[in-house]
Amino acid sequence: MHLGSPSIRYAKALMEYALERNTENILYEEFSILAYILKTNRDLREVLENPLISKDKKLKLICVAVAGNDSPSEDFIRSMNLVLHQKREPYLLSISLMYLDLYRQYKNIVLVKVITAISIDTEIVEKIRTQLIKELETQIMMEQIVDPSIQGGFILDLNNNYRFDASVSTQLKKIRKQLIESDAKIV
């Protein structure tokens, strides 16, 4: 999921620093925004990785992307200065994602992705949330994803580690595989 040890080292150091300064919540919000923007905006990633563009311009771009007309937190700016100074721009997305993971681990928050073929009611999402909180006995952060390719049913993904797949597309694949295997046994 992440690019490797530089990302882990930077994210761990950043988390420790944020905990010392009691700014982990603010940084979580800022890194959430940065991760989303870097995931969805390839042009920005290319600009940030371009060695011909100055560190100052890159920092301004990052700050505007994260905070708009406001200014991001001092700790966020310091962390970006460090990343830019060390020429670690290619790791910026993975550092952000790793920080988010470390934050959720520290706060004992489970990230749950509910993947459905169509958008589901808020009431159903709340029932799922309530049941998961009761079963897991922890805080839940839910994300709903609509993916028509699953054709129906749902997929629950917990922290990108555990997946419960009750989708129609997976059930059809299983049935197809069983039919092919049983057909091969007949011949």
Quote the tokens at residue 185. Answer: 């046994």
**6 CB-near residues (< 8 Å, 6+ apart):** 88, 91, 95
How big is the chain by its Cα radius of gyration, in Å? 21
Say yes or no: 71 and 127 in one domain: no
pLDDT confidence of residue 3? 46
pLDDT confidence of residue 136? 87
Domain of residue 15: give its range: 5-105
Q: What is the CATH number of the domain that holds 18?
A: 1.10.520
Say yes or no: 175 and 115 in one domain: yes
- Distance, in Å, from the CA atom of 165 to the CA atom of 151, rounded to the nearest integer, reads 12
Say yes or no: 22 and 54 in one domain: yes
Say yes or no: 82 and 116 in one domain: no
Say yes or no: 100 and 114 in one domain: no
Distances (CA, A) of 13 to 7, 66, 141: 10, 21, 24
Question: Are residues 63 and 77 in contact, defined by beta-carbon separation less than 8 angstroms?
Answer: yes
Question: Are residues 42 and 32 in contact, defined by beta-carbon separation less than 8 angstroms?
Answer: no
Say yes or no: 139 and 182 in one domain: yes
Say yes or no: 124 and 97 in one domain: no
Rounded to 10 deg, the angle between the 5-21 and 74-85 helix axes is 150
pLDDT confidence of residue 160? 81
Question: Are residues 83 and 93 in contact, defined by beta-carbon separation less than 8 angstroms?
Answer: no
Quote the tokens at residue 83. Answer: 């990343």
CA 44 to chain centre: 18
- Distance, in Å, from the CA atom of 33 to the CA atom of 30, rounded to the nearest integer, reads 5
Q: What is the pLDDT along the chain (187 residues), one digit of tens a residue?
A: 444 588 999 999 999 999 999 999 999 999 999 999 999 999 999 999 999 999 999 999 999 999 998 999 999 999 999 999 999 999 999 999 999 999 999 999 999 999 999 999 989 989 999 999 999 889 999 999 999 999 999 999 998 888 999 999 999 999 999 888 887 776 5
Question: Are residues 98 and 35 in contact, defined by beta-carbon separation less than 8 angstroms?
Answer: no
Question: Are residues 66 and 53 in contact, defined by beta-carbon separation less than 8 angstroms?
Answer: no
- Count of domains for the chain: 2
Say yes or no: 27 and 116 in one domain: no
Judged on CB neighbours under 10 Å (0-12, 13-18, 19+), 26 is middle
Say yes or no: 164 and 177 in one domain: yes
Q: Which of 105, 132, 159 is the last residue of a domain?
A: 105
- Distance, in Å, from the CA atom of 64 to the CA atom of 59, rounded to the nearest integer, reads 9
